[in-house]
Structure 1
């Protein structure tokens, strides 16, 4: 792609508001936390995993019941549960031969609900 240098908008100065730049640099979230957050969102960047989270917000469930809700095979659901478990978003408990899954963190439900509210707000603004 060939760019016309005369049509590119650029700032003529490096910093306009020193106080704002310094304040943000001082308070910006550290790189490790940002990286961890990106990983968190990457795990949630899958509709099936979001459906599993949504189902587990409503009730603790065994794998077979999650499969029935999602109309998916057990290996497929188990794969997604493994990813969620490794990310510490879900936990499990065993009762005999049955394994029950539930949310592993009190922050997951509010994050899901905030995202849903954001999506619904965007939808209503478009109408």
Structure 2
């Protein structure tokens, strides 16, 4: 147990000031960190994750198609889509009385693709 704890500790008490300063200059701002945490919190829900991957695979689906695909209630799907739409992760397109949802942009697609690839990597 002590050997593992030693891996997480510095062997010196003096940080590399140049490296710290260079890293600090490239850090996300506190506001960006909050927004990133909120984004990952949204993506951290299993139902929302399944909805996003359904949209990734299908391109565009309505609420009833999403409900059948992920096997959850239409109320749960609608609520999840409202959160995702408000966050700019999905967008809707009205066609008559139907609204079809799709991923907002290529960045969302890339994030989902990379996340799945990371899971399959291990």
Per the TM superposition, whether the score is higher than 0.5 is yes
Instruction: Return the index of the structure with the highest Cα Rg.
Output: 1
TM-score normalised by structure 1 residue count: 0.82
List per-residue Cα deviations over 1:25-81 (Å, max 9, x = no partner): 222221111111111100000111111111111220111111111112111110111
Find the aligned partners of 1:49 and 1:104 in 2 and give their Cα distance.
Answer: 14
Which structure carries more helix by proportion?
Answer: 2
Find the aligned partners of 1:10 and 1:89 in 2 and give their Cα distance.
Answer: 40
1:109 match? 109
List per-residue Cα deviations over 1:92-125 (Å, max 9, x = no partner): 0111111111111210111111111111111xxx
Query: Gaps (5+ residues) in structure 1?
Result: 1-8, 123-127
RMSD (Å) for aligned C-alpha atoms: 1.5
Q: What is the SS of the residue equivalent to 2:106?
A: coil
1:29 match? 28
Q: CA deviation at 1:12?
A: 6.0
2:70 match? 70
Q: Which stretches of structure 1, 4 residues or longer, exceed 2 Å deviation after superposition?
A: 9-13
Q: CA deviation at 1:10?
A: 7.2
1:40 match? 39
Query: Gaps (5+ residues) in structure 2?
Result: 1-8
Find the aligned partners of 2:121 and 2:12 in 1 and give their Cα distance.
Answer: 38
